[in-house]
Amino acid sequence: MSIKEPDQSVWNRFWNKKTDLSKVYPSSAAVADTVRMHFKDLHGMKILEVGAGTGRDSAAFAREGAEVYVLDFAINSLKLVEAQREADPVVRERLHLVRGDAFKSPFPDCTFDLVFHQGLAEHFVKPLPLLQENFRILKHGGYCLCDVPQTIHPYTIIKHILIAMDKWFAGWETQFTMGELQKLMQAAGFKCDYCYGDWMRPNLYYRMLRELCFKFGVELPKYPLDGSAYQKFKDRLLDNLRDKSWANWTALSIGVLGRKP
């Protein structure tokens, strides 16, 4: 089977179907939580999100005082971010949209305090140049947060079956173990300071059922057990397991926060 990385047309079609953000699940909470845990005050920070998607984390960071840029080559993704930007005067002032290539970003060396991305590196056969570009545009002492799918998970099996059937939404995608992701970050020049795993909430199977029901005009609750004692207990448990190395092997996604020396 030939490998075909997703291009602009793939992502424009994908995001064109996601115009109602109330129906779209947000990014893994671990991404924003990791940023806030390591940077107690975002005021004055210069942050870049690469492969913006909906840009909801970037909008939140802008509200918290950071100067935030989002970089994406898919115009329909940037339209989603622009809608949030226009709806909030604070975000409008601090959030900047840039259309461009993540491998050749239009920023000078040593520009940002933090670069982050989720659901991006796994779509490239050779992701190292992406991280090397992240390294270039970071200030010395700045950080890169890379979040990707974790290998040992049912998601990987389902994904590769759909890829083989030419039914995967992005055409092709890979995955990483924590060791592989750490080695990739180190090869780009980063020192790995923090690692985490995270799990879909609600779980993968419920999300798959919900997407199937959409096709029949049925909309299931976005968070079926939201506010229940069971859900609160489960969330606390998963949060406590997030940075336990053994638990990362069960997570759907993993992330590494790397520092540029």
Could you tell me what percent of the chain has a pLDDT over 90? 90
User: Dihedral of the CA atoms 163, 144, 244, 246 (nearest 10)?
Assistant: 40
In contact, 134 and 50? CB cutoff 8 Å: yes
What is the Cα–Cα distance from 195 to 257, expressed in whole angstroms? 6
Q: What are phi and psi of 233, to 5 degrees?
A: -65, -45
pLDDT in tens, 1-45: 568 888 889 999 999 988 888 888 988 899 999 999 999 899 999
Domain positions in the chain: 8-200+246-259
What is the Cα–Cα distance from 8 to 14, expressed in whole angstroms? 10
Within 10 angstroms of residue 71's Cβ, the number of other Cβ atoms is: 23
What's the CATH fold of domain 8-200+246-259?
Rossmann fold (3.40.50)
pLDDT (0 to 100) of residue 1: 54
Q: Where are the beta strands (DSSP E) in 79-128?
A: 95-99, 112-118
pLDDT in tens, 84-125: 999 999 999 999 999 999 999 999 999 999 999 999 999 999
Q: What is the DSSP string of 211-222?
A: HHHHHTT----S
The pTM of this model reads 0.94
Determine the average pLDDT of the residues in 187-207.
96
